Amino acid sequence: MAVTDNQPTYAPKAQSAARAPGLTKRDWSLMILVVALVALAPILLNPFPTDSSLAQFNAGYPDLMQRFVIFGIFAVGFNILFGLTGYLSFGHAAFLGAGSFAGVWMFKLLGMNVLFAIVASVAVAGVFALIVGYVSLRRSGIYFSILTLAFAQMSFALAYSVLTPITGGETGLQLSKSDPRIFGEQVAADGNLPVTTLFGLDMRDSLIVDAGAWEFVFNAGYYVCAVALIIAFYVSIRIFRSPFGMMLRAVKSNQQRLNYTGLNPKPYMLATFVISGMYAGLAGGLMVSMDPLAGAERMQWTASGEVVLMTILGGAGTLIGPVLGAGLIKYFENIFSKINKGVLETWFSVFPDGLSDVLVTIVYPFVGKGWHLTLGIMFMLVVIFLPGGLVQGVQKAATVFRRDRNAPPVEGPAAERRAQAEDK
């Protein structure tokens, strides 16, 4: 009789637990925002007319947009490990490079369909991450970070010299007309190397739309990468909201206390490391799908440090933060770095000659080849004043224009607690 009386009490909790892994209204809002941003990126990233002097700040061309979404995938995967568990890996570039090499080999052996490369890249990166994670996760904290860095540097050294027949060494792994390509042509009809496709859709195909003084380019390869980003972002939301994600947060909060409960966090950590590595492999596969060339430099520690900067700048532990951080850094790298002394002299030509020369001298170290200095200053300011990254900055700015100053944030720990309460 007592069991019968208790059943109604526990039934709602069971239903609540079943709903917990799903997406909340806020998650769907965030998902719709990401879909809208990537779909309209060719328009949003071209705010200035083509013949305008400010057109050099436009970023709506295919190569750069592809980099935005590819490195966004890389950062989202890294955030699953670092943002949820607090484990800082300095070796994720190794999985990016392994995925790139696997993708090019698929183009050489099977055919130019990017699906071959993407599947192989994810699989190879996952197996490699399983090996590296099994060894590295025997330690935590700074020792874990050093181990991952050591694996990445060893991978770079092997790819650069010892494994030259597999990786191409210093020149990188490239396609050749003598490659077998079982399911595709060895040489294109025009006598050149065949191009990458997705079931016949050329990744280089673009639709150019002229709208007055503006020119918008809608590239097939970009939208293939964009679909991959949307899927990867959706999977990351499900991981964040799942019981598996709650276990990872427990690891970050207090792993020693979790061990006292009798739960072994190692399998969860290893699974997270492998998932994060597969995201990096996906990014590497998409890179070579857009440009079928893989080099050992993708495994260097600087590439691993770059994804760390992306995640922290955007907001570690948030969902959309790493995507924003990746876009910001790639924009600086490809747009801001092109501002040379001649451009500055044109800008400041409205001032008297003496003042113009002084302004050019002051600003020049922060642009062009010195764009890393500006990025470093920005990184320090974010860490000091916005520990939550760009997402926190957007939320603070939004409160200024929001009537309800006490409205809950869209992302962050407070938003997650509110979402869990809504599910219950």
pLDDT digits (tens, 9 = 90+) for 33-72: 999 999 999 999 999 998 887 888 899 999 999 999 999 9
The single residue listed with the structure tokens 């300011």 is: 381
Cβ contacts of 102 within 8 Å, gap of 6 or more: 117, 120, 121, 123, 124, 125, 281, 284, 285
pLDDT score, position 55: 87
Based on the number of CB atoms within 10 Å of its own CB, is 111 exposed (0-12), middle (13-18) or buried (19 or more)?
Answer: buried
Which segment of 87-101, 117-131, 395-409 scores lowest on mean pLDDT?
395-409
Percent of the residues in the chain that have a pLDDT greater than 90, as a whole number: 61
**Residue type for position 312:** I
Residue 166 vs residues 21, 28, 156, 296, 418: alpha-carbon distances, Å: 42, 43, 13, 11, 50
The pair of structure tokens assigned to 260 is 């006292």
pLDDT at 189: 84
Separation in Å, CA 32 to CA 37, 233, 264, 323:
9, 11, 37, 14
Angstrom distance (rounded) from CA 150 to CA 50: 46
What are the boundaries of each domain within the chain? 23-321
Give me the pLDDT at residue 415, please.
Answer: 60
Q: How far apart are CA 383 and CA 325, in angstroms?
A: 13
Strands (E), 245-385: 293-294
Q: What is the pTM of this model?
A: 0.88
Average pLDDT over residues 214-236: 96
Evaluate if residue 17 carries a pLDDT over 80.
Answer: no
Mean pLDDT of 399-404: 68
Listing DSSP states for 330-343 in one string gives HHHHHTGGG--HHH
Phi, psi angle pair for 214, to nearest 5°: -105, 150
Q: Residue 422: its pLDDT value, please?
A: 52
- Confidence check: pLDDT of 399 > 50: yes
Given a cut of 50, is residue 1 above it in pLDDT? no
Phi, psi (deg, nearest 5) at residue 218: -105, 105
Phi, psi of 45 (to 5 degrees): -90, 5
The β-bridge relationship of strands 201-202 and 197-198 is: antiparallel
Buried b (16+ CB within 10 A) or exposed e, 338-371: ebeeebbeeebeeeeeeebeeebeebbeebbeeb
pLDDT in tens, 148-169: 999 999 999 999 989 999 999 9
Range name among 33-42, 96-105, 338-347 with the lowest pLDDT average: 338-347
State the CATH class of domain 23-321. Answer: mainly alpha
Place 408 in a pLDDT band, splitting at 50, 70 and 90.
low
Task: Taking residues 255-272, report their average pLDDT.
Answer: 89
pLDDT at 10: 40
Q: If pLDDT is split at 50, 70 and 90, which confidence band does 353 have?
A: confident
Strand bridging mode 206-211 / 201-202: unpaired
What pLDDT was estimated at residue 77? 97
Q: At what angle do helices 114-136 and 93-109 cross, to 10 degrees?
A: 150
